[in-house]
Every structure is written in structure tokens, then in C-alpha cells.
A and B are shown apart, each in its own frame.
Chain A
Amino acid sequence: MSCFFQEEFPERYFEMGIAEQNMLSTAAGLSLMGKIPFVHSFAVFASGRAFDQIRQTIAIGKLNVKICGSSAGMSDFGDGATHQSVEDMAIMRAIPNMTVLCPIDAVETAKMVKAMAEHEGPVYIRLNRNAYDNVTKEEDPFEIGVPGLLKDGKDVVVFATGIMAVKALEAAKELEGKVSVKVVNVSTIKPLNEAMIVDLAKGIKAVVTAEEHSIIGGLGSAIAQALAKEEKIIEFVGMKDEFGCSAKNYAELLEHFGLTKEGIIQAIHNVIRNQ
């Protein structure tokens, strides 16, 4: 991924070796010289291996470092639990001063990267390893902190992020005529626009969250916190406090953990039944 930048701007590209801790602190130093460093590693290593460097110097100092965690979630399906991140958003969300982003598709990622560069302060972005069709369009607006309405509906609202927002949209379309499902793409996990979340869920009791991440500490937790004062029934689609494992392909692995259109449809039926 970083190779594209290297080709374009070789003098501003630094190969830091397999040494994430030094990379993050070096980025801190570059930012203190007025640069806007983007660092890249696997999501699991960017958020885990270099956690202390991010916390101590970058986050406490509100330094302008942009942390790109790739192969996030289950998207590195073959490499197994060691390389699959189920907790990166939870870790990053817990750090004060940190902004946490999770784009739905490539089109939104491109807009996000520009917004990250313009945003003053530390940002973490989690990225999917695999190719899939875009659902957003070039002309769709993007602003950090503003959730995007993918489809309107009145019976159930699904707050989803990353590839699970794509699957939520598929689920909503499949249920058309039976259940009216509103789908919201929450690509800014933090700061979560709580007022907008409350507003988007207004008049709808049944809520589903969906993420390719643990249901502990990620989008689901954030949404539940935002809606804590509302009377809602919430179902959480995500990793149920467990690690990933190897699979031969991405779809097979997502299916294994219920991170599918069907998983979301099931959750929608559950919240309707329980409301």
C-alpha cells in the first residue's frame, strides 16, 4: 500500500523496517518538525505493538500523526488470529485525543485520507485488505464525525461500519417490502456524533449494530453508549469476544463468524421480535 506513495514521493518515504515502535516514535518526531507523517502497518501491530508509543508521545501531545492499520478485521483471512484485528478500534477509541476512522469502501477511503491530512491531531484509520465493489459515490459528501445515511427506513435502524455497512445495505435491500430498514454508515467511530446518532434513531425502537470487530469496545459499544438514555432494543453483530482463525477465503471466514448479510437479517428479526 505504502509502495504507491514511495513511487510518487521517494524523498518523503521512509522504510522503517519491521520495527513498529521506532516507526511510531519517529513519526512523532517528524510531526514535531511540522510534517504530517502517515505510518502504515497491519492494524493489529499498529494498534498493539506500538500502543505505548502512540499513547505516550503522540496522543498525550496531540501530535499530527496519521496511523494506518491495514489488513484490519478478518480481511487477512489466511494468516489467522495473530494477524487479524478484533480489538484495534477498541484500543484506539480508549485513547484520549485520538480520532478513529473505518471507511466503508475505496471511494470513502480516498476522501478520508485527504480529511485526515487536513485534520489537526492524531488519527487512526483501519483498512480492509480485500477488493470489493464501492457503494458510495465520488459526489457523496464526507466529513470526519458525520455519519452517512445509506438508506432510509422506519422499522429498524442499522448502524454499521466498514464492510459490514455494505452487508447491512444488502440486508436492507433483501428485506424491502417486508421490513423497512434504515442503514447508517458510521465511518467515524470517534468522535462519535452522539446527537446525530440519537436523531437518526428517532422514532425507531429496534437498533442493530454491525462491525468486523469485537462487540466489546468498538462501534456497538459506542452506539449503545450514545443511545443509553433512549428506550431501545439493540442487537450487536460482530466478533463475540473471540479471536479469528485461518480460512481459505474471506467470505468463508466472515460466514464462520456470522459477519454476513444473513447475520444482520437475523439480528434485525431479533430486535423486531423483542421490541
Chain B
Amino acid sequence: MSRQELIEKLEKRAKVIRRHVIEMVGVGSAGHIGGSNSSADIITALYFYKMKHDPKNPKMEDRDRFLLSKGHAGILQYAALAESGYFPKEELKNVKKLGSMLQGHPDYLKTPGIEAGTGSLGQGLSIGLGMALGMRLDNIQRKVYVIVGDGEMAEGQIWEAAMAAANFKVDNLVAIFDRNRLQATGPIKERFDTNPVIPKWEAFGWHVIEIDGHNMEEIIVALDEADHIKGKPIMIVANTVKGKGISFAENNAAYHNGILTQEAYEQALKELED
């Protein structure tokens, strides 16, 4: 497969994943559309290009690990897991239903392919650090990928983890910062400004790569570059658009945990058609 074919294939897959997200949210009840769609291209590149994993053997020892620190975008990960084959796609219909294996936030014990429970923001990077140290102890030459949200940059534990990961020089820990510039209640710059982020991560001792988080080429180049960094944790700052792919939801905080009307639902699916 040529590079161009690979990129096109991944882009197509990302569209399918975004469709799953919209279908899971459905009509009339709230769902995390915005933050799921801002991370959709990144998660697609991880599950369908970068990570070594086996949906038929989710606990395979020699696998890369993925953590969604911004656990509220769980529906996005469920879409990626179903597309990968961890469970049947029909299961996606049961998200958040009583007794479902697909909880409102990722649940380690209930869903195959979920590596740790997340949802209380700011904790995924620390969990990833523990996994990275565990890999080092066992000489497992794999990586831990953690998607961190923009709003959760305000959590103090993020910076504890930032210091700790640099202190332990874990170059098998790759954070991807979904910088969509919005939190639930509005623009981060206006609500609680955590900028400038890039100098902060550099000062904390991380190797920082800045990309367009919707440019598949840039995403996979950055993920590959991370393989060659030695002695430092890696932070990929991915500039993204909240709600990406659905015109009315883009850059619109109302769709952080938004409700779709029948009309909006149909329009969203139409925009995500091939």
C-alpha cells in the first residue's frame, strides 16, 4: 500500500468512527460529540496504524497500551474498539444502557480493550507512567499512548505526572494532547487559561511535537517520530477542532455533551457520508 493509499484508508476509517459516535449519541439524549470528534483522527491512527494490539487477544503481553485520559470521550474509544473487532459493532447500540458493557466512562472490568478506568480528569497520564515503568521492569519494548484533553490541563495531577515522567525518563510514554481549545462551558482561554502549553511541556522536560490533529499525514509522522526519542517522554500537541466533521458542532461548546434533534442527527450523518 502506498503512503497515499494508507492515508486515504485511515481518513475513511475516521469517518466511519465519527459516524459510530453520532449513532451512539442518537436523538434526544446528551452525548460527548465535541471531544470525541476532536480526537477521532488521532485515535484512528493509533488503533489502525500505530499500535500493536490484537482484538482477539486483548491481554496479549507484548502490546502497546492506550489510555483515554479524557474518559468522557469513551464513545469514541468504543467506536474504535468495535471497528477493530474487540466486540461486535451491534454492541454500540447498548452504550449507557442499564447492564451494558459500555459505560458512560471507560470501565476496565466491563469492556474488552479498555486498559484502565478513566473519567475523573487528570489521572490517565499517571496511570500511563505506571504502565511505562512496568514495561521497563519487564523489558517489554512497547509504548503507552495517552490522549489528554484540553480542559484537563488545569488538573494539578497532570503536572505531577509531567514532572514524574521526565524524572523517570520514560521514553515509552507518548501523550497526545487533544488541543481543541474548548471545555464544557466555553473557550479555555476565557474560562481558565492554561496557555501557553508548549513552553510548559518543554520546561517540564518533555519532547514536544506540534501537529494539526486532523491531518492524518502529520499524525502518523509524529507517532513515528516518537519512536526515535530517547530519554524523554513525548508530548504530541495536536491542534484540533472540537466537534470536527460536523459543521454545526465544530468549535461549539454546546456540543461538548450535546443533544441532537432528529434533523441535526440526520445532517450530521449526511456530512459524514463517504
A binds B: yes
Chain A residues engaging chain B, CB cutoff 8 angstroms: 11-12, 14, 16-17, 19, 21-22, 24-35, 37, 52-53, 55-57, 60-63
Complex contact B168–A57 (CB within 8 A):
no
Give bound CA distance, A25 to B69, whole Å: 12
Give bound CA distance, A53 to B156, whole Å: 13
Give bound CA distance, A28 to B135, whole Å: 14
Give bound CA distance, A33 to B62, whole Å: 11
Interface size on B, residues (CB 8 A): 32
Could you jot down 15 A-B contacts, CB within 8 Å?
A14-B168, A19-B163, A22-B126, A22-B160, A25-B130, A26-B126, A26-B164, A29-B131, A32-B130, A32-B134, A33-B131, A33-B138, A34-B138, A61-B109, A61-B116
Known A14-B168, A60-B107: A26·B116 in contact at CB below 8 Å = no
Chain B residues engaging chain A, CB cutoff 8 angstroms: 65, 107-109, 115-120, 123, 126-135, 137-138, 144, 156-157, 160-161, 163-164, 167-168
Give bound CA distance, A17 to B132, whole Å: 18
Complex contact A29–B157 (CB within 8 A):
no
Complex contact B120–A56 (CB within 8 A):
yes
Interface of A: prevailing SS: helix
Residue of A nearest to B135 (CB): A33
Known A26-B127, A26-B129, A32-B115: A17·B134 in contact at CB below 8 Å = no
- Nearest-CB distance from B166 to chain A (Å)? 12
Query: Given B65, B128, B131, B160, which contacts A19 in the complex, CB threshold below 8 Å?
Result: B160
Query: Given A14, A29, A55, which contacts B126 in the complex, CB threshold below 8 Å?
Result: A29
Complex contact A27–B130 (CB within 8 A):
yes
- Nearest-CB distance from B259 to chain A (Å)? 26
Complex contact A25–B157 (CB within 8 A):
yes
Query: Given B108, B156, B163, B168, which contacts A61 in the complex, CB threshold below 8 Å?
Result: B108
Give bound CA distance, A55 to B123, whole Å: 12
- Apart from A33-B137, A34-B138, A57-B117: 19 A-B pairs, beta carbons within 8 A: A14-B168, A19-B164, A21-B123, A21-B126, A21-B156, A21-B160, A22-B126, A22-B129, A28-B127, A29-B128, A29-B132, A29-B144, A33-B131, A37-B130, A52-B120, A53-B120, A56-B117, A61-B116, A61-B117
